[in-house]
Chain A
Amino acid sequence: MEKRLIKKEALTGIIGKIAADTTVCAPVKVEDNVLFKVLEKGDEPLVTFANSKNAPKNFFFPRSEVMLRYTRTTKGMEFSGGEKEVGEAVLFGVRPCDTRSFVLLDMLFDQEKYKDPYYIDKRQKTTIVSLACAHPPYAACFCTSVDGHPVSSAGADVLLVDLGDQYLAEFVTAKGEKLLKYFGDAKADTAADEKKEAIAAQAEQEIKSHIPAKAIKPILDVNFEHPFWNTIYQKCLACGTCTFLCPTCHCFDINDEMKDGDGRRLRNWDSCMFPMFTKETSGHNPRTSQKERWRQRAMHKFKYYVDNFNAIACVGCGRCVKYCPVNTDIRKIVADISKL
């Protein structure tokens, strides 16, 4: 594995150089929010930030995506492809939790049985440069409880670690190595590796939130009808904040929009928190209240995903904990389930 050392102040310049050659998506301060967005002229990518409010999944699995277009002609319907061809891109400054979300999303969108061309196309053409959390940014961070680590390179092509006075860049994959030319030629020595190990150990210590996420699967297996579910949903507003900010939530809805003879088929994010999510054409809704919806959210993340892919569909980024308008805390729910 190639490793380089770069000066701290050089990083922004490196992002600029990459951005001159290819599309770069990076965290940018937009008014009061830090958001992942495609760098445009005048945007300043952040290299010191906690984490972005939106998850970078939007880049591979957009909130709204045109799957195909059609137009009515005298010869019948004519179909054409959806979005214009996407090019190569670099996702810069993804936190290890969000980087890991791509590993989890790959299990679904790029699996043996089904391959999602829309997702895979963008995913393959994108290089992910991850920025390790030398100091985990939030008290709500709990990545180590769900198989993550603040200095993990899982899912990353390049991993950057802040060593204090400089960055260590590890080029984890061949795709990542294509970016080598931007990073100068100061090779990393074993001292840098040792420093990284120390920082990783320290960062792990700094994570104070621990939840028994891996222990609850057998409990969920047998407690679908448990009265516990009656106790967690009442204050839930049924909004989509948790699912829309979540790096791993991936449910979508397909619908058509037509105007005169032209139309398009869209794939939009959907949320299991919405009452409409399971409403059927007949008008019947099998999940009648927020109780069933909340159970679904917990089950999907901590049971069904484990059943299907042997992985918990949560990376412990803490977004849903921090931004839930009514403070429905998944950490508390998991802890409570473990005591059932």
Chain B
Amino acid sequence: MENIDKKLREEAKRLLEEKKVGVLVGYETGTLPLTATPCFITNPEDAEKLVWNAFCTQNLAKFVHDLISQHRESQKRVKPEDRKKKIVGVVARGCTTRSIVLHLQERQYGRDEVVIIGVPCTGYVDGKRLSVLAGGDDIREGSLEGDQLLVKTTAGEKRIPLQDALAGNCLTCRFNNPVLSDLMIGAQAPPMKPEQEYTEIEAFENLPTAERWAYFTKEMNKCIRCYACRQACPSCYCNTCFVEQSQPQWVGLGEDATDTQVFQLMRLFHMVGRCVDCGSCVSVCPMGVDLRKFLKKIDKDVFELFENRAGSSLEDTPPLSIFKEHDKEDFIFNP
């Protein structure tokens, strides 16, 4: 990993020095043990902060979209001939590049506005899972040694296999290497276990209806409507989310369970053909709502019905903006 960090810093510094990018979005070490946090680098010297390791969780494509749209907004008051383009560099693993592909397909920005530094990925640590594995005690210190996490908690020291602490979406990831990049750092990562990606979903599909509904309502009851899931999601970029519209008001803002269910349901369904399974929504959720159980189903259906995997190829058209003559229609009601 150290080698990757070194190369990453060199490349980032070069891109900034040569003014190939105006700002570079990457990860730096966090203030808590075993964490990394997004950082924004404009000064070539600061490239030294960059890291790439198993604690880099967030999908940075969200910030690419934010930065470019904020910049475009700020350029609206500039004379057309004086407008400048902002080029954003980003450290991107497989799922991040899929989100960028999705943004490009959805015409959010141009390919020339983003420079992708591709990095191989073997999965990231799910903080909530790690906390459970550490026995729920506060993690005071920690380090990664080979494939073992050395964790020092208030109750003592513990060794946790890295594999056990990886996020669910990473374990069965199909695209852990970038699908699109301008330069690659490090060697291709070995494949994860994509053949098992729908195992959990198939098991859930086979449960009785009442049990599925009970699970859905139980999970949604945990939600405190902080909207961290929506805010972290690179695909959630609507200017005004339907939850925030007041004329008409689509969904109540109180604690009513159905309002929360409707909010989540609508957000989930807005992910048809748009969820890259990066796990950001799951990792940011403070309450640990199992959103992936529902998002992965959408991913499965989209593949089964339309043979599309969100953001996997720049040549694809978003599945809900095209149709094929022989699309499935066995659900159509013909009395």
Which residues of A pack against B, CB within 8 Å?
A: 31-34, 50, 53-54, 62-64, 135, 137-140, 234-235, 237-241, 244-245, 253, 255, 257, 266, 268, 271, 274, 276, 289, 321-323, 325-329, 331-332
Contacts and interface: CB of A to CB of B under 8 A. Distances in A.
Interface in B148-198: 154
B286 A241 contact: yes
Contact of A53 (B38, B58, B139, B287): B287
Contact of A138 (B128, B138, B244): B138
A15 B210 CA distance: 35
Contact of B254 (A245, A257, A274): A257
5 contacts: A34-B136, A139-B140, A235-B38, A325-B58, A325-B286
A50 B226 contact: no
Contacts of A276: 244
A323 B231 CA distance: 15
* Residue of A237, A271, A276 contacting most chain B CB atoms (<10 Å): A237
A54 B252 CA distance: 22
B138 A139 contact: yes
A321 B254 CA distance: 26
A257 B252 contact: yes
B40 A235 contact: yes
Given A34-B136, A63-B224, A274-B227, 7 more contacts: A31-B222, A50-B138, A54-B224, A140-B32, A255-B253, A266-B253, A328-B37
Given A271-B226, A327-B31, A32 B39 contact: no
B231 A64 contact: no
B226 A266 contact: no
A54 B131 CA distance: 17
A329 B62 CA distance: 20
A327 B30 contact: yes
Nearest to B37: A327
B10 interface: no
A325 B283 contact: yes
A331 B32 CA distance: 11
* Residue of A54, A139, A257 contacting most chain B CB atoms (<10 Å): A139
A184 B125 CA distance: 48
A244 B288 contact: no
* Residue of A33, A62, A235, A276 contacting most chain B CB atoms (<10 Å): A235
A240 B226 CA distance: 4
Contacts, number: 111
Contacts of A329: 30-32
B231 A235 contact: no
List of 4 A-B pairs having minimum Cβ-Cβ separation, nearest first: A325-B284, A239-B228, A64-B255, A240-B226
Contacts of B63: 234-235
Interface of B: 30-33, 35, 37-40, 58, 62-63, 70, 128, 131-132, 136-140, 154, 222, 224-228, 230-232, 244, 249, 252-256, 283-284, 286-288
A32 B32 contact: no
B70 A63 contact: no
A289 B73 CA distance: 12
B227 A326 contact: no
A241 B226 CA distance: 6
Contacts of B284: 237, 239, 241, 325-326
A34 to B, nearest CB: 8
Contacts of A271: 226
A33 B285 CA distance: 12
B228 A63 contact: no
Contact of A245 (B131, B132, B222, B286): B286
A140 B31 CA distance: 10
Given A234-B40, A239-B231, A253-B253, A32 B226 contact: no
Nearest to B290: A31
A64 B38 contact: no
A1 to B, nearest CB: 31
A239 B31 contact: no
Contacts of B140: 139
Nearest to A319: B286
A322 B31 CA distance: 10
Contacts of A139: 32-33, 138-140
A176 B53 CA distance: 51
A9 to B, nearest CB: 21
Contact of B31 (A135, A289, A331): A331
A329 B30 CA distance: 9
Contacts of A289: 70
B226 A268 contact: no
B255 A238 contact: no
Nearest to A328: B37
B88 to A, nearest CB: 12
B254 A64 contact: yes
B232 A137 contact: no
Contacts of A326: 37-38, 58, 284
